[in-house]
Structure 1
Amino acid sequence: MNPYVLTILLSSLGLGTTLTFASSHWLLAWMGLEINTLAITPLMAQHHHPRAVEATTKYFLTQATAAAMILFASTTNAWVTGEWSINDMSSPAANTMFMAALALKIGLAPMHFWMPEVLQGLDLLTGLILSTWQKLAPFALIVQTAQTIDPLLLTMLGVTSTLVGGWGGLNQTQLRKILAYSSIAHMGWMIIVVQYAPQLTLIALGTYIVMTSAAFLTLKMSLTTKVNTLATTWSKSPVLASTTALALLSLGGLPPLTGFLPKWMILQELTKQDLPIIATAMALAALISLYFYLRLCYAMTLTISPNTTNSTTPWRVQTTQTSIPLALSIVAALGLLPMTPTILMLAT
């Protein structure tokens, strides 16, 4: 892609997210989401592969539907209240419609069906943007309006997403689909606690972005998109295979890795709110997700490919890929748990 065009598209992505962050008016928030969608669409279709074009079309139709629902919900709310302010949401019908639209935008179950298919059709860098950056603007709106949305709806969305995200990733062989189901499960963890402690949602979102960035950048570095190809990673680059296995366990939420931090605090908050059954269901759903992360670790570190690898081992040649973002995200994905008191102090 032409560097100037790429610069314009990435700047538009930043502009759309910033516009949604800064807006207190529904039309401005909607405009920011639309700019985001229109900016990422050419990035998704840039390889002109049939799968990429199909994924782009699915994504565009889904996001356009969600944007139309947001516009309709905000118009309904303005009709009832006479206000276009985001903080003035007093129409229950508009609130429910609005939450359904945002759930469709970020891929919460049961509106998650587009997410694995779209991510499977993209290259790893665009998939990284879709899984991380594109979640920021909708989450800004969710955090602003969470107190007016029915708590039962948020709880159902959260529990369903963690269960579907764990269950859906069990029988997958494509790594991008596994990461898509991982994203759905993590979104459920964030949405379940947003009504009680929004700062925990932001902490969970931040750690999810760091861990997912580490996973995607590692797959890009090792040029891996399938589970069976992971078996060749150890013979190519042992250090990368070791750190990747730890990053995947961090995504699963094992202590003493970073991924344990948000799950631990969210379960603690749910217990404080007298919701022990919901907390137990979330913890059990996390165990289902942990199974397919362990499966990936097993394929990567405890199996060797039956075929001789024809490719030259990457540590013997000079790589052309930049490894600094990968190194930073891996370190953050593995070692932020001791920073918990500092993070909590900054969040409160």
Structure 2
Amino acid sequence: MNPYVLMILVSSLGLGTTMTFASSHWMLAWMGLEINTMAIIPLMTQKQHPRAVEAATKYFLVQATAAAMILFASTTNAWMTGQWDINNLPNTTTCTMITFALALKIGLAPMHLWLSEVLQGLDLLTGLILSTWQKLAPMALLIQTAQMADPILLTSLGILSSLIGGWSGLNQTQLRKILAYSSIAHMGWMIIVIQHAPQLTLIALLMYIFMTSAAFLTLKKVSATKINTLTTVWLKSPILAAMTTLVLLSLGGLPPLTGFMPKWLILQELTAQGLPTVATFMAMTALLSLYFYLRLCYAMTLTTSPSTSNSPPHWRTQTNQPTLFLTTITVITVGLLPLTPMVLTMLM
């Protein structure tokens, strides 16, 4: 892609997200979401492949549907109250419609079916943008409107997303689909506590962005898109394979890695709010996600590639790729748990 065009598209992504962050008016927030959507579609189709075009078409239709729901609900709210203020949603129906529209934008269950199919048709870098940056603007709107939403609705969305995200990833062999269901499960953890402690949702979102970025960039480094290609990683780079294993275990939420921090804090907050049953169920659904992370770690570190392979393996890693950013976020993904008190002090 032309570097000038790429600069315009990346700047548009930043502009749309910033506009949504800074707006207190539903029309401006909607415009920011639309700029975000239109900027990422050319990035999706830069790889000339039918799957990429199909993924971009599905993504456009889903995002357009969600944007139309947001525009209709905000217009109805302005017609009833005379205001476009984001924090003014006295009507339960309007607030519920906006919550469902934002859940559709970020891929919460049961509006999650598009995410795995879209992510499967993209390259790893565009999938990284879709899984991290594109979540920021809808999550900002959800945090602002969560106090006015139905708590039963938010709890149901969180539990269902965590359950489906863990359950659906069990039988997958494509790494991008596994990361898509991982995203659905992590979004469920954020939504379950968004009404009780929005700061914990922000912490979970930041940790998710760090861990998912490390996972995507590592897979990009070793050119892996399927589980069976992970069996050659240990032969190519043992250190990279070991660090990737730690990143995946951190995504699963195992101590003493960084991914344990948001799950621990969220379970603690749910228990303090008098929801021990919900906390127990969320902890049990985390075991489902942990299983397919362990499956990836097993394929990467405890198996070797067979000598009779149907496809020629890539035995060498590309050494000309910059690794400073990957190294930084990998260290954050692995070793941030001891700094939990500092993170809580900064964000709460």
Q: Could you state the TM-score of these two structures normalised by the residue count of structure 1?
A: 0.98
* Aligned residues: CA RMSD: 0.9
Identify the range of structure 1 (62-71 vs 322-331) with the bigger mean alpha-carbon deviation: 322-331
Q: Structure 2 CA distance, aligned partners of 1:307 and 1:29?
A: 55
Given that 2:235 and 2:315 are in contact with CA atoms closer than 8 Å, whether structure 1 keeps it comes out as no
What pairs with 1:9-88 in structure 2 (closer than 5 Å)? Answer: 9-88=9-88
- Structure 1 residues 20-47: Cα deviation after superposition (integer angstroms, max 9, x where no partner): 0000000000000000000000000111
Q: Structure 2 CA distance, aligned partners of 1:160 and 1:307?
A: 42
The aligned residue for residue 117 of structure 2 is: 117
Q: Structure 2 CA distance, aligned partners of 1:141 and 1:294?
A: 34
Q: Structure 2 CA distance, aligned partners of 1:29 and 1:269?
A: 30
Q: Structure 1 CA distance, aligned partners of 2:136 and 2:66?
A: 15
The aligned residue for residue 232 of structure 2 is: 232
- Structure 1 residues 196-232: Cα deviation after superposition (integer angstroms, max 9, x where no partner): 0000000000000000000000000000000010000
**TM superposition shift of 1:329:** 1.1
Q: CA, structure 1 residues 311+226, in 2 after alignment: closer, same or farther (shift >3 Å)?
A: closer
Q: Structure 2 CA distance, aligned partners of 1:311 and 1:185?
A: 32
**TM superposition shift of 1:312:** 4.1
**TM superposition shift of 1:313:** 2.9
Q: Structure 2 CA distance, aligned partners of 1:96 and 1:48?
A: 39
- The one-letter code matched in structure 1 to 2:316 is T
The aligned residue for residue 276 of structure 1 is: 276
- 1:127 and 2:154 aligned: no
Q: Structure 2 CA distance, aligned partners of 1:313 and 1:153?
A: 49
The aligned residue for residue 199 of structure 2 is: 199
The aligned residue for residue 294 of structure 1 is: 294
Q: Structure 1 CA distance, aligned partners of 2:48 and 2:85?
A: 41
- 1:4 and 2:4 aligned: yes
Q: Any gaps of 5 or more consecutive residues in structure 2? A: none
**TM superposition shift of 1:16:** 0.0
Q: Structure 2 CA distance, aligned partners of 1:246 and 1:53?
A: 34
- 1:313 and 2:313 aligned: no
- Structure 1 residues 58-88: Cα deviation after superposition (integer angstroms, max 9, x where no partner): 0000000000000001011111111100011
SS at match of 1:346: helix
What pairs with 1:95-106 in structure 2 (closer than 5 Å)? Answer: 95-106=95-106
**TM superposition shift of 1:310:** 5.2
Q: Structure 2 CA distance, aligned partners of 1:97 and 1:80?
A: 15
- The one-letter code matched in structure 2 to 1:24 is S
Q: CA, structure 1 residues 26+310, in 2 after alignment: closer, same or farther (shift >3 Å)?
A: closer
Q: Structure 1 CA distance, aligned partners of 2:125 and 2:323?
A: 14
**Number of matched pairs:** 345
Q: Structure 1 CA distance, aligned partners of 2:332 and 2:52?
A: 31
Q: Structure 2 CA distance, aligned partners of 1:312 and 1:270?
A: 47
Given that 2:13 and 2:36 are in contact with CA atoms closer than 8 Å, whether structure 1 keeps it comes out as yes
**TM superposition shift of 1:266:** 0.1
- 1:158 and 2:154 aligned: no
Q: Structure 1 CA distance, aligned partners of 2:165 and 2:36?
A: 25
- 1:186 and 2:186 aligned: yes
Q: Structure 2 CA distance, aligned partners of 1:79 and 1:106?
A: 27
Identity %: 72
**TM superposition shift of 1:311:** 3.7
Q: Structure 1 CA distance, aligned partners of 2:138 and 2:231?
A: 37
Given that 2:232 and 2:315 are in contact with CA atoms closer than 8 Å, whether structure 1 keeps it comes out as no
**TM superposition shift of 1:48:** 1.7
- 1:341 and 2:328 aligned: no
**TM superposition shift of 1:151:** 0.3
Q: Structure 1 CA distance, aligned partners of 2:299 and 2:143?
A: 38
SS at match of 1:234: helix
- The one-letter code matched in structure 1 to 2:139 is F
SS at match of 2:281: helix
